[in-house]
Amino acid sequence: MAKIEDILELERIEENIFRGIATETLLPRTFGGQVAGQALVSAVRTVVPEFQVHSLHGYFLRPGDPTRGIVYQVDRIRDGRSFCTRRVTAVQGGRAIFTMSASFHDDDRGLEHQDEMPTVPEPEELPDAKTLVEQGREEFAWALHEWSNWDFRFVPPEHMVADRGVAAHQRVWFRSRATLPDDPVFHVCTLAYMSDMTLLGSAHVIHPEEKTQDASLDHAMWFLRPFRADDWLLYDQTSPSAGFGRALTQGRIYDSRGNMVAAVVQEGLTRYLRDS
C-alpha cells in the first residue's frame, strides 16, 4: 500500500488548484480519510507558515473512484490578523465529491485545561492486528491488509471503564509503523487522514451482528496540541446516538503522555443493507 508521504504529496496544477494521487486499495470507493487529508494539505499550501490549522469541517458528497486522482480547488475566503479561512472542493470527473472549510490561527495565549486521559492498558500490552487475525479474529483483517503501514491495538471491552450512560464505546491505540518527517504540519494532515479510521466502527460495538451499509457523511476536527503520528495515540471513541440510518460518533485523541491533541465528530451512514 502507498506510504502516507506519497498520499499527502500533492501536485500543484495552478494557483490554488492541486491534484492528489490515486492509491492502491481493496476498498470499492476512495477512503474518506484520504480525501480529507489531501484536502487539508491543499489548504495548508495556501497559508503562510505563521498560521496553523486548528479546525476543519467537511462533507462527503459522493463516493470517490479509488482508481482516479482527485483535484482540489482552494478558495481563499479570508486572511485576517489572527485567523485565516479556506474552503476546499474536491473534484473527480467534473463533480464535487467532498467540500471542506479549514480555519487557521496565529497562536495566542489564553485559558488552558483538558479532560483527563482514560486509564487503559499500554499499547505494547495489547495484540496487534496480525496477532488477532492469527487467533481467528477475521474482523480485524482490514487493518492488516488495507493499512499495513499502521499499527492498531484495540482495547478489549473487559479493560474499559465506560462513563455511566454511554451507549457505545471503543478505544484504539494507533501509530505509523515507520518514522515520519519532522514537519508538524505533516503530522496534522496525517491525523486528518487517520481520524476517519475506526471511528464509525464505534457505532457497531453494541450491534455486532447487524449488517449495514456504512459511509462517512460529514467530519469535523479540532487540533488542540502538538503531537507526532508515529508515536502512540489513543483514540477514545463513542457513539452517543444512532437512528434513521445514521450514527453520530465522536472521538478524543490523546498522546501517550496524556495530552489531548485532537477532537473529532462525525456522522455516518449506517442503514440496513437493502434487498438486491
62-72 pLDDT, tens digit per residue, is 999 999 999 99
Annotated catalytic residue: which of 216, 236, 239, 255? 216
Catalytic annotation, pick one of 151, 196, 230, 255:
196
Domain assignment present for residue 68? The answer is: yes
Whether residues 196 and 263 share a domain: the answer is yes
What pTM was computed for the model?
0.94
For residues 44 and 76, give the distance between their C-alpha atoms in angstroms, rounded to a whole number: 11
> How far apart are the C-alpha atoms of 64 and 215, rounded to whole Å?
12
Q: What is the pLDDT of residue 276?
A: 58
What pLDDT is attached to residue 207? 94
pLDDT, the chain, mean: 94
Report the C-alpha dihedral over residues 17, 264, 238, 35, rounded to 10 degrees: 10
Domain count, the chain: 2
Query: What confidence score (pLDDT) does residue 147 get?
Result: 87
Residue 183: inside a domain, yes or no?
yes
Q: Which domain holds residue 13?
A: 1-107
Active site residue 231: no
Given a cut of 90, is residue 54 above it in pLDDT? yes
Judge whether 196 counts as a catalytic residue: yes
Q: Pick 53 or 143 by higher pLDDT.
A: 53
Residue 25: per-residue pLDDT: 86
Catalytic, 216? Answer yes
pLDDT digits (tens, 9 = 90+) for 180-232: 999 999 999 999 999 999 999 999 999 988 999 999 999 999 999 999 999 99
Domain check: are 66 and 139 in the same one? no
- Residue 128 shares a structural domain with residue 103: no
Residue 163 has pLDDT above 80, yes or no: no
pLDDT of residue 129: 87
CATH number at residue 67: 3.10.129.10
Sheet holding 17-20, edge to edge: 11-14, 17-20, 70-79, 83-92, 95-105, 52-60, 212-223, 260-272, 246-255, 233-243, 169-176, 150-154
Instruction: Say if 188 falls within a structural domain.
Output: yes
Cα separation, 33 vs 196, in Å, equals 5
* Residue 208 or residue 83, greater confidence: 83
Q: Among residues 92, 202, 239, 266, which one is catalytic?
A: 266
Residue predicted with more confidence, 178 or 133 = 178
pLDDT band at 107; cut points 50, 70, 90 = confident
Mean pLDDT over 75-95 rounds to 97
